[in-house]
Structure 1
Amino acid sequence: MKNYFGFNLTAKKLLPIWLIFYFLFITSYVVLINSMKNIQSGTTPSGMLFLFLFLLFLVAFFISFYIAKIIIENFTYKDKPIIFNGKFGRFVGLILVGLLLSIITLGVYMAWFIRNIHRFFVNNSVYENESFTFQGKGGRLFVIVLLTIFLPIIALTIIMSKVFMVNPEHVSISNMIFQQIISWMIMIPYIYFIYKWMVNIDYKNYNIRWETEFWNSCGKLALEIFLSVITIGIYSPMAVIKLYAYFTERTIVQSGDVKRKFGFDTDNINDFLFIWGQILLTIITLGIYYPWSISKIGKKILSRTYLE
C-alpha cells in the first residue's frame, strides 16, 4: 500500500518572510556597492558599515531559520503534519560557536559545525509526538570532505601547476577544459557521499537511509550533470527530477527484518515543463514570484512521493 506525502505550504505563508529577505538583499547590495566606490576613492569605510554587515548577518540567519521552519512544518504524511520545535536562540548559538571554532581550527571544525546544524533541524522535527534523530557523525563527514574534495583538489592543483610551469606559453583552452572536467569528476563522489551521509535518520525503532551502490549512483549523477552542462542548463530541471526519483526509490525505512521503501510516481515531461514555467515566472518577476514557485513545485513533487 502506498501512503503519500503532502506539502501544504502556500505562497501567503512564505511571502512576508521572503519579502523581508528580498528587501534586505537589495539594500545590502546597494550599501556594499557604495562602500566599494568610497574605498576605491580613498575613503576609509566607517564603523557603521561593519555594524550594518553584522546585523545583516544575524538577520540573514533569522530569515533562513524561519524559512526552514515554515517549510518543515508544511510537510505532511497521512495528512498529519511535522512539527518543528527548534528555537531561534539555540540556532544562533550553534552558528556563532560553529563559525568561531571553524576559524580557530582553520576549517577543521567545519564538518562538526555542519553536523550540528543538520542535526538541529532533524532532531527538532516531530511527527506524531516522536522526534527524528540524525545519526550522522562529524568525524565521518570530515573524512568524506578530506578524501573526496580536499586531497584530490590539492593533487590536481599540484599536477596542473607543474604542467603550466613546464610549458607556460602552451597553456591552451583544452588544458583549462580538461581541468574543469577533472574538477567535476572529483565533485561527483563528494556529492554522493555527502547526501548519503545526510540521509541517516532514526524515527522510533526505524532507520531511514539510502540503499545505493557507489558506481551506479555516481554514474547516474555524472550523466545528469553532463546533460545539464552540454545543454547550458536547459536540461537541469529534468536532471533534478530524475535524480530525485532515482535516490527516492533507493531510500529505505528499516527496523530489524522489516524493510519499507520510498517511491515516486514519475511524470518527467510534464514536471520538466512545469518547473521551467515556474523558473521563468520567477525570473520575469525578478524573484518576487519565488514563494509561489516553491509552493507549487513542492506540492507537485511531494504529492507523488510515497512510502510503501
Structure 2
Amino acid sequence: MLKGTRETPIEFTGKAGEYFGIWIVNLLLSIITLGIYSAWAKVRRKKYLYQHTLIDGVGFDYHASPVAILKGRVIAFVFFMAYIFSQNISPFLPMVFAFIILFLMPWMVIRTMAFNARNSSYRGLRFDFTGGMREAAFTFVGLPILFIVTLGLILPYMVMRQSRYLLENHKFGLTAFSMTAKAKDFYLIYGKVLLLVMGIGVAISALVTLSLDKDTLLNAVKDMQAGAAVANFGAIMASFILFYLLLILGSGAYVQSRVSNLIWNSTTLGNLSFRSNLRARDMLWLYLSNLLLIACSFGLLTPLAYIRMMRYRISHLNLTGETDFDRFVGDKKVDAKATGAEMAEMFDIDLSFG
C-alpha cells in the first residue's frame, strides 16, 4: 500500500446469539410449514448478514422478495422431484435430466448472480451482474469437462477463469469490478500444495518400507496370534485418519486463504482496491474448532461456526483508497427471476468466489 493511502476496514458486527435465534426460528418454521417458510427464512438470514457488514459504519442491504424466491423454489423442487422419480420409470431418464441440467448450467449461473446482485445494495445503490451466456458456457461447462480430460491439471486455470467471470461481470451501480490475477499465480498456489502432499506421501512410503523388514513381519504375526495386534491396528488406523484429516483440512486452509488473498488483492472497483490478509493457520484452526463445535453439539452450534468464519474473513478484508461512494452512479435494473438461483441452490451448485 502506498504511503498516505487511506485504508478502510470492512467490519462485521453480527453476534452468534442473535444469529442463532434467527437460525433456530427459521429452521422450526420451515419444518412446520413443510418448507414454505424457507423463502422468508432465506431473506431474513441474508438481511441480518448484509446489514451487519459495514463500511464506514454503513451496512449493506438485501431486497429480495420471499414470494419470488418461493416461486423459484417450487419450480426447482418440481424439476428435482421429476429427476428423482425418473429413475423408477427408465434408467435412461436420469441421464436425460443430467444433460438438461448441464445445458441449463450457464443460465443458472447468470440468473443466480443477477438475482443476488440486483437485490443487494450499499447506500441505496444496487449491484448488478452482466455476464454473457457464451462465456458462462465455456467457464462452467467446457472447463469442467476439460478438467476430467486433463486429469485435474487444468484446475488452477479453471478457478482463475471462474473467479474472473463472476467478479468482473459484477457492477456497483455502473462501475464494474476488475481482477488482474493471472493463471500462473493460481498454479503457483496449487503447485505448492501438490508438492507438499507428494513430499509427505513419499516420506510415509519410505518410512513404511524401511519398517517392514523380516523381523518386523515375524513380530507382527506373533502379536496377531496373541491378540495384541487388534489394539495396535486400531491405534494405527486412528492415527492415520487423524493425520489424513489434518492433511486435507490444512491443504484446504492454505488454498482457500491464498486464493482469496490473490483474488481480492488483485481486484479494483473504480478508484478503490482491496487488501485481504487471510492466514492458513488461522483458517485451519477455524476449520478444526468449528468441526468440533458442530460435532459435539449435534449441529446446534452451526450458527456459531458460521459467524466465527464470516467474522474472520470480513475482518481481514480492507478497502484501499478514498471511500467516496457519492461518485458511483447507477440506473434502474430489470428485476431478475429467482428460478435460476433456486435451481442452482437445489442442485448444490457453488458459485462463490474469493
The amino acid of 2:311's aligned partner reads A
What amino acid maps onto 1:181 in structure 2? L
CA distance in 1, matches of 2:65, 2:319: 29
Q: What is the percent sequence identity of the aligned residues?
A: 14
Shift of 1:93: 3.1
CA contact (8 A) 1:14 1:70 kept: no
> Which residue number corresponds to residue 141 of structure 2?
96
Aligned equivalent of 2:65, options 1, 10, 20: 10
Alpha carbons of structure 1 residues 135 and 229: separation in structure 2 relative to 1, 3 Å? farther
Give the unaligned 5+ runs of structure 1.
36-44, 261-289, 295-308
TM-score (norm 1): 0.67
SS at match of 1:106: coil
CA distance in 2, matches of 1:210, 1:122: 15
| Residue of structure 1 equivalent to 2:173 | 128
1:113 deviates by 1.7
**How many positions carry a matched residue from both structures?**
250
Higher RCO (C-alpha 8 Å, min separation 6) = 2
Structure 1 residues 135, 230: CA separation in 2 closer, same or farther (over 3 Å shift)? farther
CA spacing shift, 1:159–1:228, aligned 2, 3 Å: farther
Within 1, Cα distance between the matches of 2:249 and 2:297?
16
Q: Which residue pairs with 1:85 in the alignment? A: 130
**Cα RMSD for the two superposed structures:** 3.4
* Cα distance in 2, alignment partners of residues 253 and 212 from structure 1: 15
Q: Does 2:245 match 1:181?
A: yes
Give the conservation status (yes or no) of the 8 Å contact 1:94–1:116: yes
- Name the residue aligned to 2:107: 62
The CA deviation string for residues 3-39 of structure 1, in whole angstroms up to 9 with x for no partner, is 221111222232333333222222223334666xxxx
| Aligned-partner residue type, residue 4 of structure 1 | G
Structure 1 counterpart SS, 2:243 = helix
CA contact (8 A) 1:144 1:190 kept: yes
Q: CA–CA distance in 2 between the matches of 1:26 and 1:77?
A: 38
Alpha carbons 2:63, 2:119 under 8 Å: kept: yes
Residues 56, 217 of structure 1: CA spacing in aligned structure 2 closer, same or farther, 3 A cutoff?
closer
Q: AA paired with 1:21?
A: A
In the TM superposition, 1:1-308 aligns within 5 A as: 1-32=56-87, 46=92, 50-148=95-193, 150-155=194-199, 163=208, 166=212, 170-172=232-234, 173-182=237-246, 183-200=248-265, 201-216=267-282, 218-255=284-321
Return the offset for 1:75. Answer: 1.2
Q: For the structure 1 residues 60 and 160, does the alpha-carbon distance in structure 2 shift closer, same or farther, using more than 3 Å as the test?
A: farther
